[in-house]
Amino acid sequence: KVRNEFYKDTQGVLLVYDVGSKESFDSLDSWLAEMKQELGPHGNMENVVFVVCANKVDACRLRVVDESEGRLWAESRGFLYWETSAQSGEGIQEMFQTFYSAIVDLCDNGGKRPPGSAGISFTREQADAIRRIRGSKDSWDMLGLKPGASRDEVNKAYRKLAVLLHPDKCLAPGSEDAFKAVVNARTALLKNIK
């Protein structure tokens, strides 16, 4: 309960998760919810610098949350993202320097995030599509279709996702892999549709 006293007047937050623990990563949402609840209806998290640290990157073989998934989660919320290792020190100094500079910029701007500091270079729709594609159970699900859809429906769904996620147009982390998955899903489905 001691941490609840620190939410008020917060200027910066470090959210750290273990890249070897999906449960640790999934808990990030509950930490944000707790902070929002403690700040109350008049609290403003928009003017807080958030840094998400994907920690323990030195243990690559045990990694279950890849960089693009963590980066997508952070950047879709306007948060800074760093790959770190507390054990080896990788990324720690750079992360704290960036965190400190962002807080100084916040203070210099009257306690508000300077315009353009969020750095989001993709839309919520793109982020949601990437997450959905990652969690898809099959090619139908990947394209957002029910089994048995027509050739035209497959092509229409493909075109919509291709435009949304094309690597030349989408800078969201994981968009290139999602785009390739969509291409492969379309190809696989069209082979079986007469």
Q: Which residue, 109, 139, 157, sits at the end of a domain?
A: 109
The number of folded domains in the chain is 2
pLDDT tens for 123-164 read: 778 888 888 888 889 999 999 999 988 989 999 999 899 888
> Is residue 140 located within the same domain as residue 88?
no
Q: Which residue, 55, 78, 109, sits at the end of a domain?
A: 109
What CATH number does residue 142 fall under? 1.10.287.110
Strands 80-83 and 12-18, by their bridges, are unpaired
- Model confidence at 97, pLDDT cuts 50, 70, 90, reads very high
Residue 104 lies in a domain: yes
Instruction: Tell me if 190 sits within 8 A of 151, measured CB to CB.
Output: yes
* pLDDT at residue number 120: 59
> Is residue 137 located within the same domain as residue 101?
no
Q: How distant, in Å, are the alpha carbons of 72, 82, 122, 137 from that of 75?
A: 5, 11, 9, 25
> Is residue 97 located within the same domain as residue 146?
no
> Is residue 69 located within the same domain as residue 130?
no
- Single pTM value for the model: 0.68
Query: Is 118's pLDDT higher than 70?
Result: no
> Is residue 87 located within the same domain as residue 149?
no
* pLDDT at residue number 119: 56
Q: Which residue, 66, 85, 109, sits at the end of a domain?
A: 109
Look at 116 and 168; give whichever has higher pLDDT: 168
* pLDDT at residue number 61: 78
> Is residue 22 located within the same domain as residue 88?
yes
Residue 155 lies in a domain: yes
Residue 56 lies in a domain: yes
pLDDT tens for 13-28 read: 999 999 999 999 999 9
> Is residue 19 located within the same domain as residue 101?
yes
Residue 154 lies in a domain: yes
Residue 72: domain span = 12-109
177: its two tokens: 């892999």
Residue 116 lies in a domain: no
- Model confidence at 93, pLDDT cuts 50, 70, 90, reads very high
CA atoms within 13 A on the CB side of 13: 23
What CATH number does residue 81 fall under? 3.40.50.300
39: its two tokens: 């700040």
Residue 165 lies in a domain: yes
Residue 5 lies in a domain: no
